[in-house]
Amino acid sequence: MLLFRPWCGVMVTWVAFAHMTWCHWLYSGQYMGTFPFVGYFMVLVLRLGSVAYNYQDGLLPEERLSKTQALFRINSLPNILEYLGYVSQGYMSVGPHVDYVDYIQYTKTEGRWSRKEKTPNPLPAASVALARTAVFGYLTFKTARLAPVAFLKSYAYNHTYSFWRRLGYQLLVFEHQRFMCYAMWSCFEAAWVLSGQGFSGWHNGKPAWAGAVNVRVLGSELAKHPAAIWANWNIHTGLWLRHYVYERLTPPGQKPGFLQLAATQMVSSIWHGPYLGQALFRLNGSVIIMSGRVLYKYQTRLVDRYPALKLPTRVLMWAYTQLTHGTNRMAFFVSVLTIRDIWRVFGSLYYLQMLVPLIIVLLGRLFPLEARAKEVTLEKQAANTAGLRKKSKKDA
């Protein structure tokens, strides 16, 4: 950062990702489904990359900065104490990621944490998060016995279960994994709220804690389209990918497309580890999101013509979202399933989680339907979290 400021963001991120990938490879196969120490380093990589990019952005003129870059850029090099405090602060096991500017304002009681401002009461929000932790911790314990991931490799699953039973089992495994993440993130949400660092401003006279929320349970469970799943899941890592990969790969004045989406998903795949299952999950996830955009266009036109179909089409869109994402999620369990196991699990459903989204995308290319000027795109809907965060900062 000190020697190569114009390119320090790119250089730091590439070097950190390379070292993290080596750690993933070095210790692969030793976790057996447990949480590895590399998980702490994964969060550290996000912090190193963001602070380097923010410092790099400090050289750019105002007119070349995006709203996010202008919000988080750093004009002067952090001193060694601030830098070490930022990259080594607590909550590193599962996040959430916090940008350097927010961390400095929090430690110096500036901005929305200023002592001149009204102090929010963290107890109600923390109590809700702890209660959610207990509920989903219990559900995780119960579903772990009902749906072990290793059973996907068994003879009984592959040769005695019917198609519908295999589908149901995969969805149960998916829900178990979601329950576990809900419990884990809710626990750290409570800690983040109690520390005060998760405070994101005031909304309608009440304190908002968007900085602590890393998952929205209802937003994930009731997602109306595939993009909403990603917008409500691992929120702060998703914002990091959006701000430091997705937006920076999009040329100025142009709209992001499949290449930017696929590249962002691949960066996420590398961040999670150099596993073919991760790459398959992310690439197919990109196709699922693109298929959701196609379906969304047809859904809005159909509802405009036949308003009575609004509820049925929403239910069908929700079912498509949960089925495709849930079955595609089987590729995520790389600590238990090899790529051959994952491919066999996909084949147990006749690869429908891959073929159906791909066919929808191809049909959308062959029979394009232009979006109307008044339509709200899925991309804008998926960016609601970032917009809320920026609004809270301004209110503060």
pLDDT of residue 258: 85
Average pLDDT of the chain, as a whole number: 88
Task: Lowest mean pLDDT of 53-62, 121-130, 167-176, 381-390, name the range.
Answer: 381-390
Task: State both tokens at 213.
Answer: 């929320």
∠ Cα 177 180 181 (to 5°): 90
What values do phi and psi take at 89, rounded to 5?
-65, 170
pLDDT tops 90 at residue 358: yes
* pLDDT tens column, 1-22: 778 889 999 999 999 999 988 8
Alpha carbons 200 and 394: distance in angstroms, whole number: 10
pLDDT of residue 97: 86
pLDDT tops 70 at residue 272: yes
Alpha carbons 342 and 67: distance in angstroms, whole number: 41
pLDDT tops 60 at residue 31: no
pLDDT tops 60 at residue 388: no
Task: Lowest mean pLDDT of 97-111, 115-129, 252-266, 379-393, name the range.
Answer: 379-393
Q: Dump the DSSP string for 256-308.
A: --HHHHHHHHHHHHHHH-S-HHHHHHHHHHHHHHHHHHHHHHHHHHHHHH-GG
Alpha carbons 183 and 131: distance in angstroms, whole number: 10
* pLDDT tens column, 119-169: 899 999 999 999 999 999 999 999 988 999 999 999 999 999 999 999 999
pLDDT of residue 267: 93
Alpha carbons 231 and 226: distance in angstroms, whole number: 9
* pLDDT tens column, 314-345: 999 999 999 999 999 999 887 788 999 999 99
* Residue 224 DSSP SS3: coil
pLDDT of residue 395: 54
Alpha carbons 331 and 324: distance in angstroms, whole number: 12
Q: In the predicted model, what is the mean pLDDT of residues 383-391? A: 52
Buried (b) or exposed (e) across 36-52, using 16+ Cβ within 10 A?
bebeebbbebbbbbbbb
Task: State both tokens at 158.
Answer: 């592959």
pLDDT of residue 1: 79
∠ Cα 209 210 216 (to 5°): 110
Q: Dump the DSSP string for 327-350.
A: HHGGGG-TTT--HHHHHHHHHTTT
Find the helix packing angle between 310-328 and 352-366, rounded to 10°: 130
Among the listed residues 225, 236, 243, 272, the single catalytic one is 272
pLDDT of residue 216: 95
pLDDT of residue 34: 47
Alpha carbons 396 and 270: distance in angstroms, whole number: 36
What is the residue extent of each domain of the chain? 5-108, 216-395
Q: In the predicted model, what is the mean pLDDT of residues 274-291? A: 92
Percent of the chain at pLDDT above 90?
64
State pTM to two decimals: 0.85
Contact 82, 106 (CB under 8 A): no
* pLDDT tens column, 293-307: 999 999 999 999 999
pLDDT tops 90 at residue 235: yes
Alpha carbons 211 and 12: distance in angstroms, whole number: 25
* pLDDT tens column, 62-74: 888 889 999 999 9
Alpha carbons 53 and 272: distance in angstroms, whole number: 21
CA 119 to chain centre: 30
Beta strands in the chain (DSSP E): 201-203, 206-208
* pLDDT tens column, 181-215: 999 999 999 999 999 989 999 988 899 999 999 99
pLDDT tops 70 at residue 95: no
Alpha carbon of 166 to those of 157, 319, 331, 354: distances in Å? 7, 17, 15, 16
Alpha carbon of 269 to those of 58, 85, 279, 328, 382: distances in Å? 29, 28, 6, 14, 20
Active site residue 97: no
Q: Say if residue 249 is exposed, middle or buried (CB neighbours under 10 Å; 0-12, 13-18, 19+).
A: middle
pLDDT of residue 92: 53
* pLDDT tens column, 140-149: 999 988 999 9
pLDDT of residue 39: 75
Of 47, 1, 2, 59, nearest to 20 by C-alpha is 47
pLDDT of residue 391: 54
pLDDT tops 70 at residue 364: yes
